[in-house]
Amino acid sequence: MQFYQPTSIREFIELSSSLSDQTATLLAGGTDLMPRYERGKPMPDHLIDLKKLSDLYHISIKEDSIQIGALTSIQVIQENQLIQSEFTALHMAAHDFAGAQIRHRGTIGGNIVNASPAGDLLPALYAFEATLTLIGPDGERQTPIQDFILGPGKTALQPSEILVSVTLKRQHFNSTFQKVGLRQSMAISVVNLAFVYSKRGEDFQHLRIACGAVAPTVVTLDKLTSTILDKTSRPEDWPLLIEADISPIDDIRATAVYRKRVIVNLVMEFLMR
């Protein structure tokens, strides 16, 4: 195996393009990748370490948005005061993300590109309608996160393309995050979900609910939230509307029936509260 450390995005694209006919893997924090190799996954022909791409480490705050570099660590996201106050669900997800060592190594870009249905940052990013910026041989492009993640471990990343940043609009919505795991800490989510909302009196003016680990990708409960916003459903209708957007499976952490029950209970508790 050959090891590379490009120091610029241009150098990365040129290197990646030259290796297009061979197996090459990107290394960011390595918190998911290295355990896979330790469990016996075949090593690639080439390993490209991204840690020297200095342009990918930043949190840039503008009047109407915040941009997070793809190599920004989970710990830095957790500690950022603006994220804590304006994107509380993302702050909470970072806080609940594994242990301190993993939070200091793991990156937001890695959590996205890994494309796990149970990725802890993903529900908040879906609920806040994050836009991803990608750069490749054909230039720069933006894509909504829901169009980027296609399935477990599958993304719309093109050959020799790299995720460089995540942009969130500053709309001053309220938000919260919940996670259910098999133990109190260092647990992969059985289910996780983020709520992003605003209210006027008792009525929701904006409402997005994103759920993880209940479908091949994170899903937003659009059937439910659209009927709540236009006042065409009643609380007794909500469980079936929730179930219409999810398709959980049985695995070693939980059964599909359990996941469905937990999601329904958590969403109903939030809405009724």
pLDDT of the residue at 100: 82
Write down the H helix ranges in the chain.
9-18, 33-38, 74-79, 81-86, 88-95, 100-105, 108-113, 122-127, 145-148, 222-229, 238-244, 256-272
Q: What is the pLDDT at residue 65?
A: 98
Task: Give the pLDDT band (50/70/90) at residue 53.
Answer: very high
40: left (phi over 0), alpha (psi -120 to 50) or beta: left
- Name the band, by pLDDT with cuts 50, 70 and 90, for residue 98: confident
Find how far residue 221's CA is from the centre of its chain.
16
Asked whether residue 184 carries a pLDDT value surpassing 90, the answer given is no
pLDDT of the residue at 29: 83
Domains of the chain: 174-272 (3.30.390.50)
By percentage, how much of the chain surpasses pLDDT 70?
A: 96
Tell me which amino acid residue 42 is.
Answer: P
Q: Name residue 220's beta-bridge partners.
A: 210
- Residue 23's pLDDT band, with cuts at 50, 70 and 90, is confident
Distance set, CA 223 to CA 202, 229, 246 (Å): 20, 10, 11
Average pLDDT over residues 211-226: 96
- Residue 197, pLDDT score: 98
Mean pLDDT lowest among 44-48, 71-75, 266-270: 44-48
Is pLDDT above 90 for 84?
Answer: yes
Provide the pLDDT for residue 185: 54
